[in-house]
Chains A and B, each alone.
Chain A
């Protein structure tokens, strides 16, 4: 997946987890938490959906890497390069 595809995939996941959030204006360089109402349970779900959909494991110590769409893309790119 390209970095852009990863950003799209994360947005797609968030739309399933939090269908009540408006995702049309999410900025990719700003922490998701600053733009959306997401709590720790929701972040766990992003990790769980990544595992369910792409077989990617994100250890708890790395949850911080998923702060913004850009940091997600940078962190996940090596893990998703063949997907």
Chain B
């Protein structure tokens, strides 16, 4: 349950940025571990990569790419907010970051299936 003082677009933008950041921080060690298998045990890597043909894994990748793109574009908004002259259109910019994240991740998903 979101507290009433938090129910506005820029707080949700903050939440998305924080959740996507945490999820990517948890994902990256796993990602590097799997990549390292290319050197340590290529057979195990091939076995693991065969999972990526499963629909559920493709959906998970869709979510992952969305989080990555949302964190990337949301992060650009925050950098602009902190280093460029103030723009009053922060809600529009946050919505634009989410829209771009959807565009990028859906494009990725459509070319993956």
Is A bound to B? no
Chain B interfacial positions (CB closer than 8 Å to A): none
